[in-house]
Amino acid sequence: MKTIIEPFRIKMTEPLKITTREEREDALIRANYNVFTIDAENCALDLLTDSGTGAMSTEQWAAMMLGDESYAGSRSWKRFESTIWDITGIDNIFPTHQGRAAEAILAECILQPGDIVPNNSHFDTTRANIQYRGCTALDLPCPEAYDTAKESPFKGNMDINQLHRCIEEHGPEKIPFCMITVTNNTGGGQPVSMANIKAVRKVLDIYKIPLIIDACRFSENAYFIHEREKGYQDRSLLSIAQEMFSLADGATMSCKKDGLANIGGFLVCRNNEWAERFRNLLILREGFPTYGGLAGRDQEAIAVGLREGLEYDYQVYRHATVEYMAQRLVKIGVPLVLPAGGHAVFLDAKKMVPHIDSLDYPGIGVVNALYLAGGIRAVELGSVMFGRRDDEGQEHPSPLELVRLAFPRRVYTQSHFDYMIEVIDEVWQHRNEIPGYRITQQPKLLRHFTCHLEPKG
Ligand SMILES: *Cc1c(COP(=O)(O)O)cnc(C)c1O
């Protein structure tokens, strides 16, 4: 088989600043050893997130020039609405400025304090919006989700038995809706099978509980179903996506992921009574129902981007980049989460630097080593982000210490990936020199963004 090439060529370039090791050491110290606070221009390969960091196509830029900025009922809204309707088949469509705005409207309109919302794994903004309403966000991932080394095709699935038990225990009246996140971002970007979504639907039907899809990466999920699930090999990604949404009563979406746009989101639902409530709150929080939180030109870019995300050749290329890095790292011996997810490679820092205790933050050690060695910005998903303090101030580590290398869409070329692999290899060879860290200053909430750190010893 020949090399899978990028199915695009470059028409406009954005320079990357090539820094020296000394410059990076200096930048890291000035950032108090927290890469979140390093200026982006000093991160040549920025793998902090795949959200809103993608490159738009010529078609998207051209569509932006057609943006109709009329306050109500613009042509851009019509294109946005009809595209989302084609994909989801869901009638009530609300544009929002991001995914979290859609989640906030859903939570505020539908949840009462004390309610419970199950999900395969909640994304952090979804969890926060549910908790902000005084409710419980419950994660029910399948058991293999916790085994980082186990190769299994759909590690993003929900645990159906646990879902059943949860409803029996709390009662359906406490569960206004159930969610399923495709792909499962918090669980490593792992896919959810159609069979699992159907099984969830079947359980929910018994109790008449609506199903809401957190659809941020629905096209990547459709691609995995196409590749891995029996009976889907001859189907288009669009028709697979349509089948997924046909099983749902609604969806929230961040168009910064599979919308291939730099900003935007939407909320959709079938229930007209819910829609009435959403519409009223949308006007209050975001904007008039036909633009919500978006400019007409953004709606145009999203309408085109949603379709491009469902192009098979694009998904083949995207998955090839993730697999390329994962397979090369496996060959070198670097421990990572397998199989690789849809939008990122996750290094297993606990196994990479076993000499660093969890509460000395092995993930931070690896993240900072990657930055120093090659200007790569990654993110820790471990005890700094998820660690928990009990009432006595005692800190408890996260069960996993991962480092996420998220892949922006259509941004980096194969030589960038080759370079990243070389840098990771160098860090791996010198892993025994990586120090642990201590936190010297931290805010009360979401400390990973702004805390100050310092190397130990
Ligand atoms: C990014 C994301 C969100 C939130 O979307 P924003 O556009 O960042 O507000 C919600 N759920 C999942 C699974 C996500 O990845």
Q: What is the 3-state secondary structure (H, E, C) of the chain?
A: CCCCCCCCCCCCCCCCCCCCHHHHHHHHHHCCCCHHHCCHHHCCEECCCCCCCCCCCHHHHHHHCCCCCCCCCCHHHHHHHHHHHHHHCCCEEEEECCHHHHHHHHHHHHCCCCCEEEECCCCHHHHHHHHHCCCEEEECECHHHHCCCCCCCCCCCECHHHHHHHHHHHCHHHCCCEEEECCECCCCCECCCHHHHHHHHHHHHHHCCCEEEECCCHHHHHHHHHHHCCCCCCCCHHHHHHHHHHCCCEEEEECCCCCCCCCCEEEEECCHHHHHHHHHHHHHHCCCCCCCCCCHHHHHHHHHHHHHCCCHHHHHHHHHHHHHHHHHHHHHCCCECCCCCCCEEEEEHHHHCCCCCHHHCHHHHHHHHHHHHHCEECEEECHHHHCEECCCCCEECCCCCEEEEECCCCCCCHHHHHHHHHHHHHHHHCHHHCCCEEEEECCCCCHHHHCEEEECC
Average pLDDT over every residue of 330-342: 94
From ligand 1's centre to the CA of 122, what distance in Å? 10
Among candidate residues 392, 396, 394, the one with its CA nearest the CA of residue 382: 396
Contact 98 CB / ligand 1 (< 6 Å): yes
Does 443 have pLDDT greater than 90?
no
Question: Which pLDDT belongs to residue 140?
Answer: 96
Average pLDDT over every residue of 416-440: 97
Q: What is the pTM of this model?
A: 0.95
Question: Which pLDDT belongs to residue 165?
Answer: 97
Contact 122 CB / ligand 1 (< 6 Å): no
Q: Are 173 and 111 in contact (CB under 8 A)?
A: no
Interval 375-407: pLDDT, tens: 999 999 999 988 877 888 888 998 889 999 999
Average pLDDT over every residue of 338-364: 95
Architecture field, domain 58-308: 3-Layer(aba) Sandwich (3.40)
Q: Is residue 185 very low, low, confident or very high in pLDDT (cuts 50, 70, 90)?
A: confident
Does 107 have pLDDT greater than 80?
yes
From ligand 1's centre to the CA of 258, what distance in Å? 11
Q: From the alpha carbon of 98, which atom of ligand 1 is closest?
A: 7
Among candidate residues 280, 227, 270, the one with its CA nearest the CA of residue 246: 270
Question: Which pLDDT belongs to residue 304?
Answer: 98
Q: Is residue 1 very low, low, confident or very high in pLDDT (cuts 50, 70, 90)?
A: confident
Q: Are 49 and 43 in contact (CB under 8 A)?
A: no
Contact 99 CB / ligand 1 (< 6 Å): yes
Domains in the chain: boundaries: 21-50+311-455, 58-308
Nearest CA to ligand 1 atom 11: 123
Contact 51 CB / ligand 1 (< 6 Å): yes
Q: Is residue 149 very low, low, confident or very high in pLDDT (cuts 50, 70, 90)?
A: confident
192: which 2 tokens?
């959810």
Q: From the alpha carbon of 254, which atom of ligand 1 is closest?
A: 7
Does 254 have pLDDT greater than 80?
yes
Share of the chain above pLDDT 70, in %: 100
CATH class, 21-50+311-455 region: alpha beta
C-alpha span between 262 and 301 (Å, rounded)? 9
Does 124 have pLDDT greater than 90?
no
Per-chain mean pLDDT for the chain: 96
From ligand 1's centre to the CA of 81, what distance in Å? 20
Nearest CA to ligand 1 atom 4: 99
Q: Are 90 and 270 in contact (CB under 8 A)?
A: yes
CA-only gyration radius of the chain, Å: 22
Q: Is residue 73 very low, low, confident or very high in pLDDT (cuts 50, 70, 90)?
A: very high
Question: Which pLDDT belongs to residue 146?
Answer: 80
Does 108 have pLDDT greater than 80?
yes
Q: Is residue 333 very low, low, confident or very high in pLDDT (cuts 50, 70, 90)?
A: very high
Contact 256 CB / ligand 1 (< 6 Å): yes
Q: Is residue 222 very low, low, confident or very high in pLDDT (cuts 50, 70, 90)?
A: very high
Pocket test for ligand 1, best of 218, 253, 257 (most atoms within 8 A of CB): 257
Contact 218 CB / ligand 1 (< 6 Å): no
From ligand 1's centre to the CA of 282, what distance in Å? 18
C-alpha span between 457 and 454 (Å, rounded)? 9
Q: Is residue 160 very low, low, confident or very high in pLDDT (cuts 50, 70, 90)?
A: very high
Give me the helix-helix angle, 160-170 and 194-207, nearest 10°: 20
Question: Which pLDDT belongs to residue 311?
Answer: 98
Average pLDDT over every residue of 170-194: 94
Does 145 have pLDDT greater than 90?
no
Question: Which pLDDT belongs to residue 224?
Answer: 98
Question: Which pLDDT belongs to residue 236?
Answer: 98
Q: Are 88 and 268 in contact (CB under 8 A)?
A: yes
Question: Which pLDDT belongs to residue 387?
Answer: 81
